[in-house]
Amino acid sequence: MSAAAQEFGQVAAREVVLELEGDRSQAALRDLALRDVADGLRLWRLAVRLGWLDIKLRYRGSMLGPFWLTLSTAVMIGALGVLYAALFHMDVHDYLPFLALSQVLWTFLATLVADGCTCFTSSEALILSIRMPLSVHALRVLVRGLLILAHNVVVIVGVDLWFSIWPGAVLPLAIPGLFLWMLDAFALSLLLGAIGARFRDIPPIVASIVQIAFFVTPIIWKPEQLGARAWVLPYNPFFALIEVVRAPMLGYLPSGMTWLMAVVYSLLLLAVTWSLMVRARGRVPFWL
C-alpha cells in the first residue's frame, strides 16, 4: 500500500466532529427580527388574502356572512341605547351616537386583543410547514380585524344618518389615531402571539382583563359622568387609545394629555414587543 493511501486511511479513520453554531449575538438577533418584520410587510398581499380567507371560512354557509355581526351589533346598540339613556337620564339623540361609535370601536379593539393571543397557535400548521416571516401572521390578524370593523361601520353611519349628525371638519383627525391603532395591533399580535404560544393560559387571562377594562372605560357611560375625577381617564390605556379615534368622529378634539398618553402607551408596547421579538422570535415554532 502506498504512503498516500495509508495517510488517507488514517485520516478517514479519525473521528470527525461537525460543529454547527449560529451567531447568537444581540446584533445578529436584532438583524433577524428586523428582517422578519421587513419581509412580513413586503408580503402584505399574502396577509390580506389570508385574512379575507379567515372571514370567508368563519361564515361559510351563512346567508348574511359577516353582516350577522353587524345585525347583532345594531340590535344590541339599539336596545342598550334606549335603556341606558333612561337609566342615566340622558337624551337619546346625544347618547345613542356615542354608544354606537364606542361599542363598534371597542369590538374592534377587543377582537384584535383576543385574536392576537392566538396569532401563532391558530396558524400552527402553516408555521410548521411553510417557512415565512412570523410578522405575516400578525398582519393577518390586523386585516381580519379591519374587515370586521368595515362591516360594523355600517351601524355608525346608520345611526348618524338617523339623527342627522355630522362630525364636521375634525373628522379627518381620526386618521392619525387609526394609524396608531394599526401599529399597536401589529405589535400586540406579535407580543401576545409569542407569549400565548409559550403559555396557553394567556388567552383566558387576557379575556378577563379586557372584560374588566370594558366596565372601567367610558364605553357605555360618558367621560363627563365622572365629573371632577375625569382627569384620571387618560391614565387608562384603553380610554386614551379609543378617545384619539372616537373624539374626532364625534366632532370634538381629544385633549393633549390624552394624545400624549396614547403615544406613550404605544411606544412602551413597541419597546416590549421589539425586545421579545429579538429574544424569542426563533423559539416560537418550538413552542407550538
Alpha carbon 21 to chain centroid, angstroms: 36
Range of the domain at 158: 43-287
Domain-embedded: residue 27:
no
pLDDT by residue for the chain (288 residues), tens only, comes to 555 555 545 544 555 454 545 556 778 888 888 888 888 889 889 889 988 888 888 777 666 666 777 787 788 888 887 787 887 778 888 888 888 889 999 989 998 999 989 988 988 888 888 888 889 999 999 999 898 888 888 888 888 888 777 877 888 888 999 999 999 999 999 999 999 988 888 889 999 999 999 998 988 888 888 888 888 888 999 999 999 999 998 888 888 899 999 999 999 999 999 999 888 888 888 887
DSSP 21: -
Domain-embedded: residue 8:
no
| C-alpha pair distances (Å), 61 with each of 55, 56, 57, 66, 160 | 12, 9, 9, 11, 32
Q: C-alpha cell of 137?
A: 401572521
The model's pTM: 0.84
Domain-embedded: residue 3:
no
Domain-embedded: residue 88:
yes
Alpha carbon 61 to chain centroid, angstroms: 27
Domain-embedded: residue 57:
yes
Domain-embedded: residue 191:
yes
| C-alpha pair distances (Å), 39 with each of 53, 116, 149, 282 | 21, 20, 26, 15
Domain-embedded: residue 139:
yes
Domain-embedded: residue 264:
yes
| C-alpha pair distances (Å), 175 with each of 172, 223, 247, 249 | 6, 22, 11, 10
Domain count, the chain: 1
